[in-house]
Amino acid sequence: MILEAGHINKYFLEPEKHQVLKDVSLSISEGELVSVYGESGSGKSTLLYILSTLDTDFEGKLYIYNQDIKNLGSSALTDFRNKHIGFVYQFHYLLPEFSVLQNVMLPAMKLSQKSKEEIKENALSLLDEVGMIAFAKRPSYQLSGGQQQRVAIARALINDPSLIVADEPTGNLDQKNSELIFELLKEIAGSRNKAVVIATHDSKIYQNSHCSIEMIDGSIRL
């Protein structure tokens, strides 16, 4: 089991106290792609922020890679997140002044656990895996939306994380590119034995995931 969340409750306190997640429990295993779907305001993005350790102000338990997230201090949590969690967002957040290769290398350079040459070799291998090796030297701003998102997936994999968290990764893409990105994430879950969790509005994604979770008013619909 890569991720296990138990009885998660989350409150917003402004402008008045409001419960946005209500007793949410779920688990994700190696090789599994799980989609979380629901209407806007259902709590799916809030849940993803908690599962990705970006929000630790919640009630309940969260274990990732057997680590109790709530027992980690700020510095240790940042280090854990860099090592074990990869992120793919609706907007790719590539640095336009950097090349494709440099963008993919950046998280590993920041982690500083391998030499620059090792990181470069790994980045090129990942770009090849996502079908973007031919664009390695190109400035990222010259890519199409679908191409940029494939580069973002390679970047998310550079530190070999256990968990990939994707928040609306196809939200800005046309149907063809949406299908390509989803199939790529699904393949990564299987071939690399990763846990992948996706928040989505796309019915084709949640209907074709290994497991789909519907959120309604902060709760999982059973």
* Structural domain spans, the chain: 32-56+70-220
What pTM was estimated for this model as a whole? 0.90
Q: Which of 189, 213, 167, 199 is nearest to 30 (CA)?
A: 189
What does the alpha-carbon distance between residue 63 and residue 174 come to, in Å, rounded to a whole number? 35
**Cα 156 to chain centroid, rounded:** 8
In this prediction, residue 15 carries a pLDDT of 83
Q: Please compute the mean of the pLDDT values over residues 183-211 and round it to a whole number.
A: 92
Is it true that domain 32-56+70-220 has CATH number 2.40.160.60?
no
Angle (nearest 5°) at CA 166 between 163 and 168: 165
Residue 17: burial class (beta carbons within 10 Å; 0-12, 13-18, 19+): exposed
In this prediction, residue 222 carries a pLDDT of 63
Per-residue pLDDT band at 101 (split at 50, 70, 90): very high
What stretch of H or E contains 101?
helix 100-111
Q: Please compute the mean of the pLDDT values over residues 132-159 and round it to a whole number.
A: 94
Per-residue pLDDT band at 93 (split at 50, 70, 90): confident
